[in-house]
Structures are given as structure tokens and as C-alpha cells.
Amino acid sequence: MADAVFYFVILVVIYVLMRILHSNSGTEKPKLYCKESKFLREIVKMCPTLTDMYIPTLLWGKSGHFQTFVYAKMGRFLSPVPKGIRRSVMMSDGATCTFDVYEATEAHPSNNDCTLCIAPGIGNSSECKYIRTFVDYSRSHGYRVAVLNHLGALKNVPLTSPRIFTYGDTDEYAAMITYLEKRHPNTLFVAVGFSMGGNIVLKYLGENQHQQEKFLCGVSLCQGYELIYGIDAMHGWEKLRRIYNFAMTENMKSLIKRNRDMLFGNGVRAYCQREGRKVPDYDLDKIFEATSLLHIDEHFTRKMAGFNSVEEFYIAASSGSYLQNIHIPLMILNAEDDPLIPEKVWDIPKTHAERVENSIFVTTKHGGHLGFFEGGVIFSNTVTWLDRVVVEYLDAVVNVDGRQDEFSD
């Protein structure tokens, strides 16, 4: 009898683990949404990763929560540390925009000079492990890489004006591009944005025609397109989003506290006196007692950005309404098991991809939020499926550049 109970308990534990890890979930090929065109047929043909099965890390890779947790806590396994040069540009309001530039370690197969311009995720910078891994992988495939460091994200770079990054502010990304254009006038630019950075990249490209004309293509990864829908979903318990919301809020409060002097203390008072401005009026208790990003945005971010309401701020910061203005090739990607991004926002990129002849919307069954780990049983490969598919897509677009007439219907 005791043996029977023991084996029953073991079976129950195994069953629960399999449910948590989604071990019985099958693997699938990515789903591709696009308008039929010769150009996209050629791109897909040159990107076998888009049509091959994505096989996540065996033990835990089929769980979107585990993929997201490993990305958030570890970034990547055995992440390299590429050496770059930090550049800075003074913005009109006195803010110091910084970005790191990494030269290619190999020639690009097309023999072109190519520059990949990255906007990282919320509160991230070139020092994050997932960015370091992608930088190292891209350099080895012939790309010069520039990574924007969001204002306030670097612990060793103090703020020089009383503001940090926001979800949709493209000024710093634009400053990085302007700097790179002057240093590398003959380069081919490609844009890649991770999560919040994807929102910034698409918004930047769609703000005016001149900005997107500088780029061969853009890539947006795991973003939410309309902030007002995403923030609302983050207050629900579906896919444990309320827990992720709390964790992200704590991270934001830590970043704000680290920059407290320039945002709320002597630094901002000296700045306002020098610039002849009024010192911002914030309720610090409400900011530091916040338990959701909505509270942070209501009591701090929208005021810092000069908006009368958080709804007005979210609408202005979202990239969804700018997609219709983008005419260069795009690859936009989301995962079905991403616990942060609700599928109801997918209609925005899907509609765009099915309307134009040069953009593709890709969804995967697994991957979580910026995870996409693959290989191994417990420990995954350092380079992820996401790293591989992005570089593969960029290579394809670079290779067909200048031959678009050949692939247009």
C-alpha cells in the first residue's frame, strides 16, 4: 500500500511538472502572414529559419513563463562581452544620449558596409546579456552594430536633464542615427527593436518619410503596438500578467530611485533654475508606492513627458497608428506564449502585413517574451532562434537590395 501511494505521488508530481512546463506541447513551424509578392517569396526562400520547425530547449523551452523568466534573470547562457566604443550626443534639453558602437568582425557576404541600429527593451542598454549576444552574433555576420542606451538605464552614466526614457520617445534613437550617418555616409542602415524598442523603431520609421528612407528595412520583436491595450491587459491575471506588471514596476522604481537627484532633488532644482523652468510637481509617495506601470505613468511618466492624461500619453507613444506610414520592408514578430503581450493586439501588424507587399508578420507557438531559447536539455545554446532569424532576414533584405524591380509583381 505504501509503495502504491509513493508511486501515485511521483506520477502526480510528474503530471504537474509536465503541465507547468508544457512538455506535451508539440512544436510547430512559425506562422507567416503577408501579402503574396515575388519580393517576399524571395525573402522567405532565403530565410529557412522562417519555414523550419522551431524546437525550444527540451526541458523547459515550451513554457512561455520559463522562457520569459530565463530571459529576464539570465539574459542568455554564457553571453559574450563584445568590446565597443561608447559615444554620446547632447540633446537640445541638456540630456546626454549615449550609445555603443561595435565594428563588424567579419565582412558582410554582400561586401556592403552595413550598420544595424538597435533599440533595446524597457530600461535596457548595451550592457544587457541578450543585447550583448545579439551584438556579437551580428558582428560575426558582417554588421557594424550601434545600441542605444535608454536614458537612465546605465548605472555609471548620470542624467544631465530631469527625464528618463519613455515608451515612445524617438529623439535619442534619431540622434544616434544622425551621428552614424555623418560617420558612415555610405553605409546601409537596418533597424531592430526589442520589445519597447520595437515600438520606438516602428514609431521612428513611421513619423516621416525622410527617416525611413535612410533604412533598408526594420525589425520589431515582441512589442505591443498600442500601449493602452497592453497596460490594460497587464492588470489582469491571464498568463499571470499582474505578477509581471508588479515585477516590471519594481524595476522601474529602482531605476527612478537611482536617478532620484536629477528627477526630484537638487539636480532638477539646479537644472530648472539654470533653464528658467518651473520645478516639476510630483507626488513621490504615490510614485514609490506604485504597484503597476499604470500608476508610475499616471504620477510620473506622463507628467515628465508633458501630457495632461495617461491616456493621451499612451496614444501619442504607441507605434500602431504609424505602421500605415511605413513603406520599407518590415519583419514583425510575436510569440503565442508571450505572457506580456495579448494576442488581441496582433490585428495591427497582421493587417499591415496583409496590406503591403514587402512586410511580413511572424508568430511562433513558443518563445515567451524575448526568450526563444533553443538547443540542449537544460542549458540552451547561447545564440537563440531569435538571434538567428533576425540576422537571416537582414541578410536576405541586404542581398535583394537594388533588385526590388526584379521581385515586384
Rounded to whole angstroms, how far apart are CA atoms 388 and 391? 5
Catalytic residue among 100, 297, 338, 387: 338
Catalytic annotation present for 369: yes
- Report the C-alpha gap between 124 and 8 in whole angstroms: 46
Is 261 assigned a catalytic role?
no
* 409 in catalytic set: no
- Give residue 129's identity as a one-letter amino acid code: K
What number of residues does the chain have?
Answer: 409
The span from the CA of 179 to the CA of 245, in Å, is 35
CB atoms within 10 A of CB 27: 13
In the set 141, 318, 369, 380, the catalytic residue is 369
Which strands form 85-90's sheet, in the order they lie side by side? Answer: 31-33, 359-364, 330-335, 215-221, 188-194, 114-119, 143-149, 96-102, 85-90
Which of these is catalytic: 63, 79, 195, 318?
195
Residue 89 to residue 301: CA distance in whole angstroms:
23
Q: Which three cell numbers stand for residue 8?
A: 501515485
Active site residues: 195, 338, 369
